[in-house]
Amino acid sequence: MAESLQADGVLPARSIGDHGIVGDLETAALVARDGTIDYLCWPVLDSPTIFADLLDHGRGGAFSIQPTLDRARHQHLYVPDTNVLITRWMAEDGSAEVLDLMPHPAARVHPDRNARCLIRRVSATKGGVTFTAICEPRFDYAREIPDVAVADNGVRFSGRDLALKLFSSVPLSAGPGKATATFTLKAGESAWFVLGEDSLVEPNDEMIEAEIASTVSAWRRWLSRANYKGRWREQVLRSALALKLLISAKEGSIAAAATFGLPEAAGAGRNWDYRATWIRDASFTVYALMRLGFVEDAEHFRRWMGRHVVAAGDGSPVRVMYALDGSEAREEMELEHLSGYASSRPVRIGNDARSQVQLDVFGELMDSVYLSNKYGSAISHEGWQHVIGIVDYVMRHWQEADAGIWEMRSEPRHFLHSRMMCWVALDRAIRLARKRSLPAPLTVWAQCRDAIVDDIWSNFRHPDHGYFVQERGGTELDAALLMMPLVRFVSSTDPVWLKTLDAIGDQLCDDGLVYRYRNADGLEGGEGAFTTCTFWYAECLARAGRLDEAQLMLAKGLSYANRLGLFSEEVDARGLQLGNLPQALTHLAFISAAYFVDRSLDPAHRPTWQP
């Protein structure tokens, strides 16, 4: 996506879709197509930013490298099968590129180079090219301008609670709040910059090249575990690489997205912080990872859950969301000093959804527990006791209203999706107990499970048309209903479901764009189409045997990725990216849809195949 307009029609300095991402499995940086790093939290993904120019151009802090080339064309690409990013400038009188990466944890090849860092290698690939580099960090969400001084043959940025060092193979100048360098390279020559922890020691050319080569190898070793050989393989593996960047190597937790504050509609206030582990999103991610053969990553998350998914303060056995280190997610607050992307205010950090009641999380969690036991390690006695606690809670509360999957900030309502996921919680617990011969009151559990089925079929249908609806007694539709056949609550060819699918197509779809719902949700302003729902819809079409439609919908959904294959949370009416990037839920929904459509197109499988 090359552009995305503000609400007043003014083009932002850099659009959401113009970014790639690099990371080291603890934090991640966004790199714009003009070679500027304008988003980076340090030292971990949910820490304050050191670069946030994407959220306030000229104030948030950035690390730019710009060649002096007239009318240069910009390009972005990844080194194949890696999260190592290349930015290119191509002009008549010369060309250049910057290779960006954060060393993979397995790629720190020198014993004295244990400090984490960002590496930027600059090269002239044609002609003589003059570059200007400006590293201008702004600590604590751009609330602090660090002191800058020459130190250890580099530059040191120091603040109240954080210090960073910048080294370079070309001379650096220290100025107020920034370090700069101007240098010229001939074709075939390179220079490098390394920004990292205060303990970082000065590197040399050999170290830099070794860490680049080792990081490339580490990413390719990880990706080689993928067992997916079907259609759209390149896009599926790119999605896997994007998801991997959201998994903490230290903790095992999975972030919902790498960013915060990027708006769901330009100029509006729907700007949320997704740098936390939502049980819902993380559970879906486990499903996608297992499908692709990354069982070890799924197991790492399961161990994280075993350590941290404990009772919430309201008596619930599971919180809606957790901080990445397993603690309680942060309280929501506004950064009033930031103008926001495309003047979209307020910019928020933390998320008040942490205190909502969202009954669907129990179903998503139990589905991931069931799959982890099916394809990974058997559940422990302690883990099974926690499952029993979850089921007991669901049996007591499934008839209550909640905020639902979309975390609506209106009064709680009786959502079909939430009720269905309570059914999933019971169904998967019963399956697991039978599979592992675990002690459980299966008759009581089954009676409750079946009562939920009867309630949904009796009370969540349109009074005139008979298809399923968003809430009890209502008439509105919800794209979350697309999960009904995906979790096997209803047959993908059931007549009532097919009516529902057609109604969603008529009322929530707009030429490949799929909106979550059309009714009020307690928030001001509109929003874009939800990219995840496009892929849910494509998979439902395939499961219904409508493979031509499914392939076309999948192709349209793929067009909403940026040039690098990264999906944001939403897109506007023109298909331009909105919301946080990359969005885990969208990538995993694409993986699931691609997997099923590919299987359905195989003559050896029937369109009604179930995973």
Give the number of other CB atoms < 10 A from CB of residue 605.
Answer: 12
Domain for residue 413, yes or no? yes
What pLDDT is stored for residue 452 in this prediction? 98
The pLDDT confidence band at residue 307, using thresholds 50, 70 and 90, is confident
Token pair listed for 482: 């697309």
Same domain, 214 and 240: no
Domain for residue 409, yes or no? yes
What pLDDT is stored for residue 610 in this prediction? 46
| DSSP bridge pairs for 32 | 19
At 500-519, the pLDDT tens digits run 999 999 999 998 899 999 98
What pLDDT is stored for residue 9 in this prediction? 44
Same domain, 144 and 191: yes
In the chain, what percentage of residues exceed pLDDT 70? 94
* More confident site: 386 or 121: 121
Please determine, for residue 268, whether its predicted confidence score (pLDDT) is greater than 80.
no
**Residues 24, 418: Cα–Cα separation, whole Å:** 35
What pLDDT is stored for residue 310 in this prediction? 62
Same domain, 111 and 163: yes
Domain for residue 5, yes or no? no
Indicate the DSSP class of residue 479: G
What is the average pLDDT value for the chain, to the nearest integer? 92
* Chosen domain end from 185, 220, 255: 220
Same domain, 210 and 261: no
Mean pLDDT of 592-596: 95
Residue 239's Cβ-side half-sphere holds a number of Cα atoms within 13 Å equal to 29
Same domain, 29 and 95: yes
Domain for residue 608, yes or no? no
* DSSP per-residue codes, 21-36: EEE-SS-EEEEETTSE
What pLDDT is stored for residue 109 in this prediction? 59
The pLDDT confidence band at residue 1, using thresholds 50, 70 and 90, is very low
Mean pLDDT of 301-314: 73
Domain for residue 520, yes or no? yes
Same domain, 271 and 319: yes
Helix axes 360-375, 295-308, angle to 10 degrees: 130
What pLDDT is stored for residue 374 in this prediction? 82
At 526-535, the pLDDT tens digits run 788 999 999 9
At 281-292, the pLDDT tens digits run 888 888 888 889
Please determine, for residue 422, whether its predicted confidence score (pLDDT) is greater than 80.
yes
The pLDDT confidence band at residue 611, using thresholds 50, 70 and 90, is very low
What pLDDT is stored for residue 410 in this prediction? 87
In the chain, what percentage of residues exceed pLDDT 90? 82
* More confident site: 524 or 106: 106
* Chosen domain end from 166, 187, 220: 220
What pLDDT is stored for residue 267 in this prediction? 78
What pLDDT is stored for residue 58 in this prediction? 93
CATH number of the domain that residue 161 is part of: 2.70.98
Domain for residue 607, yes or no? no
Same domain, 502 and 593: yes
Domain for residue 606, yes or no? no
What pLDDT is stored for residue 525 in this prediction? 67
What pLDDT is stored for residue 5 in this prediction? 43
Domain that holds residue 276: 233-601
Same domain, 344 and 369: yes
Number of residues in the chain: 611
Instruction: Return the H-helix or E-strand segment holding 446.
Output: helix 442-459
**Residues 391, 386: Cα–Cα separation, whole Å:** 9
The pLDDT confidence band at residue 377, using thresholds 50, 70 and 90, is confident
Give the number of other CB atoms < 10 A from CB of residue 466.
Answer: 13
Give the number of domains in the chain. 2
**Residues 578, 138: Cα–Cα separation, whole Å:** 24
What pLDDT is stored for residue 378 in this prediction? 87
Token pair listed for 275: 């740098």
Name the nearest CA neighbour of 363 among 275, 428, 458.
428
HEC per residue, 162-176 = CEEEEEECCCCEEEC
Domain for residue 610, yes or no? no
Mean pLDDT of 351-356: 93
Same domain, 210 and 293: no
* More confident site: 90 or 268: 90
CATH number of the domain that residue 254 is part of: 1.50.10.10
Q: Which residues contact 385 (CB under 8 A, 6 or more apart)?
A: none
Same domain, 322 and 390: yes
Same domain, 161 and 190: yes
At residue 7, the 3 state secondary structure works out as: coil
**In angstroms, what is the C-alpha Rg of the chain?**
25
What pLDDT is stored for residue 291 in this prediction? 87
Mean pLDDT of 2-7: 42
Mean pLDDT of 362-387: 88
What pLDDT is stored for residue 306 in this prediction? 81
Q: Where are the alpha helices (DSSP H) in 195-232?
A: 205-223
Sign of the torsion formed by the C-alpha atoms of 140, 142, 144 and 145: positive
* Chosen domain end from 172, 197, 220: 220
Please determine, for residue 108, whether its predicted confidence score (pLDDT) is greater than 70.
no
Same domain, 190 and 246: no
Mean pLDDT of 200-224: 95
Q: Where are the alpha helices (DSSP H) in 63-132?
A: none
